[in-house]
Structure 1
Amino acid sequence: MDLAFIPSPPTGVVHLGPIPLRGYAFCIIIGVFVGVWLGNKRWVRRGGRSGTVADIAVWAVPFGLVGGRLYHVITTYEPYFGPNGHPLDAFKVWQGGLGIWGAVALGALGAWIGCRRRGIPMPAYADALAPGLAIGQAIGRWGNWFNQELYGKATDVPWALKIDPDPAIGRIGGTYHPTFLYESLWCLGVAALVIWADKRFRLGHGRVFALYVAAYCAGRAWIEYLRVDEAHHILGLRLNDWTSLIVFVLAVVYMIVSAKKAPGREEVVEPEWQLAGGAEGAGGEGSAGGEGARGEVSGDAAPDKTGKADNPDTADSPGKPDKAEAIEADKPAKSAGGAAS
């Protein structure tokens, strides 16, 4: 007899009139918002402009969702394209099924596009976002709890997860390891580790993101081992275990190579013209905004053919007379200079 367990919700959807509010989607959305919020705070501390992280996330998030779904459908194709599969179910994202590896891969592509459009170094952006991604994953994993999916082996530990039977999908009721909870807690630990290491060692050039990836993979490997859902196996290991191992090695190699080639942290994470663009029309005297800042950066105040700067403000530089003083001083010189010439 089970003395204690974590109950599963009776339903994964709540209807607000005709609008269904699905717990899985709600967790994903909250995770995205928290990740972007924390990423923005970290980006501003690094010297960037507030709002830049959200602007680039407009590219990264849709790419990530598509990538996560593609990874899941490709690696678990039987329910969709198998003998008794339903291809249209591949579009039913609310039923669960987002692979983190595909989400990170295509999400990174979307972020690269956004960073390139704004002239921002992609590694610096990834470093700012890394802890927020881990916390976002921790929140998103609770979507599996709403869907009663991706649980581990049967167990009777006090924190076991109670799963309701569902003959329609072949689900057997009982108590199982709550792997969603294990991964959620692990991701929170990864976020804390990354924030601490970033402050302690002043990581930069993508090494914060690489540390997040490596730490997550280390936890995902043992959590994946506990899961009992259907998965492809290679040499006795689940496919996601192999993926975790390969990505872990790549992340560690990147940290080592990057530390040798580019030690320290980036001094500039956002171009000056981007920082100036935050205040439209603020390019007046004494400000670093608008066209004034763009002109200074691009060299619009270059000297003309006579050697004088094409900028009226430079005529008043210290040690040089202005035009009126030069004319007055030149008058006596001309009268005396006629006999001497």
Structure 2
Amino acid sequence: MLTRAIPSPPQGVWQLGPIPIRAYALCIIAGIVAALLLSKKRYQDRGGDGEVVYDAALVAVPSGIIGGRLYHVITDHDKYFCDSCNAVDALKITNGGLGIWGAIALGTLAVALYFRIKKIPLGPFADAVAPGIILAQAIGRLGNWFNQELYGYPTDVPWALEIYERVDDSGMLAPVTGRSTGEVLATVHPTFLYELVWNLLIFALLLWADKRFSLRGGQVFVLYVAGYTAGRFVIELMRSDAATHIFGLRVNTVVSAVVFAAAVLTFIIMRARQRSRDTQSLGSAAIERSDSAAVES
């Protein structure tokens, strides 16, 4: 018997009259609010109009939710399209299931298109919002805790997570919407917590690196992608929930590896180009000073 373990919440949904209050949705909303506030300040510090952040959010949030849900449904289609499945469940995002890859991809594409139409430089904005995005992801992972999902293999480490049996008012099993009976079904690796902590570390890294190295032109965003995928690759290897496999690996493991490699290569190229531009600028400035001194003499 474990002497210490992390308990799961007894329930993740509360009824306010006829309205279900879902912790998963509240965590996502809290993450979005935190990202907006931080991103607005960072964008203004870069000389941007803070209101643009809210305008972009109106484009990014719904696009991200749609993209995240599409990715989840496509990669876990067996959960929604089978003989005993109800396809309508594919639309129930409050029950959990948003793929970050689809959310970032479609959200970024939508914002890029919006900025192109408005003729606003995308790089400074991307750098401003990157820390806020991963902070929002960290907060959103708490929703998985309430839903008792995305956990790892059984373990007896002191920080193991207790998974409870949950039932509805009729006594039927209801892992997401039900209430705990107090029976512990398993103690597992809290991979949601591992990712939460990793995201916070990358959040701190982005703030430090941005200030220390004067990253610009989208470099902070690319560094965010590289940092996040590095941790996600390792964490995916620890998860035990059902998932689509490619080459014998979970699909998210493969995607993490591919996106990480692409992000690292992109970051290296971007840094090299920035150093080249900086060198040219210094050279041009030196020539101008020399010419000016010659004229004065």
Post-superposition offset of 1:30: 0.5
Residue type of the alignment partner of 1:252: V
Confirm whether residue 184 of structure 1 aligns to residue 196 of structure 2.
yes
Conserved? CA contact 1:204–1:264, under 8 Å: no
Give unmatched runs, 5+ long, in structure 1: 267-341
Residue type of the alignment partner of 2:248: G
Confirm whether residue 255 of structure 1 aligns to residue 267 of structure 2.
yes
Post-superposition offset of 1:175: 0.6
Post-superposition offset of 1:254: 1.0
2:82 matched residue in structure 1: 82
Residue type of the alignment partner of 1:218: A
Percentage of matched positions with identical amino acids: 52
Post-superposition offset of 1:263: 4.4
Conserved? CA contact 1:131–1:194, under 8 Å: yes
Q: Per-residue displacement from partner, 1:60-94 (whole Å, max 9, x unpaired)?
A: 11000000000000000001112322110000101
Conserved? CA contact 2:165–2:173, under 8 Å: no
Post-superposition offset of 1:168: 4.2
SS at match of 2:5: coil
SS at match of 2:84: coil
Residue type of the alignment partner of 2:153: K
How does 1:250-329 map onto structure 2 within 5 Å? Answer: 250-263=262-275
Distance in 2, Cα, partners of 1:154 & 1:222: 17
How does 1:118-133 map onto structure 2 within 5 Å? Answer: 118-133=118-133
1:294 matched residue in structure 2: none
Residue type of the alignment partner of 1:219: G
Post-superposition offset of 1:38: 0.6
Residue type of the alignment partner of 2:76: T
2:281 matched residue in structure 1: none
SS at match of 1:228: coil
Residue type of the alignment partner of 2:194: Y
Distance in 1, Cα, partners of 2:244 & 2:83: 17
SS at match of 2:53: helix
Q: TM-score, normalised by structure 2?
A: 0.85
2:242 matched residue in structure 1: 230
Q: 1:134 to 1:190 in 2, by over 3 A?
A: same
Q: TM-score, normalised by structure 1?
A: 0.74
How does 1:86-235 map onto structure 2 within 5 Å? Answer: 86-165=86-165, 168=173, 173-235=185-247
Conserved? CA contact 1:204–1:265, under 8 Å: no
Conserved? CA contact 1:148–1:163, under 8 Å: yes
- Name which one, 1 or 2, has greater alpha-carbon Rg: 1
Conserved? CA contact 1:205–1:265, under 8 Å: no
Distance in 1, Cα, partners of 2:277 & 2:205: 18
Q: 1:170 to 1:185 in 2, by over 3 A?
A: closer
Post-superposition offset of 1:205: 1.0
1:241 matched residue in structure 2: 253
Post-superposition offset of 1:170: 9.0
Q: Which has the higher strand share?
A: 2
Confirm whether residue 72 of structure 1 aligns to residue 60 of structure 2.
no
Conserved? CA contact 1:213–1:251, under 8 Å: yes
Q: Per-residue displacement from partner, 1:260-285 (whole Å, max 9, x unpaired)?
A: 3344999xxxxxxxxxxxxxxxxxxx
Conserved? CA contact 2:148–2:175, under 8 Å: no
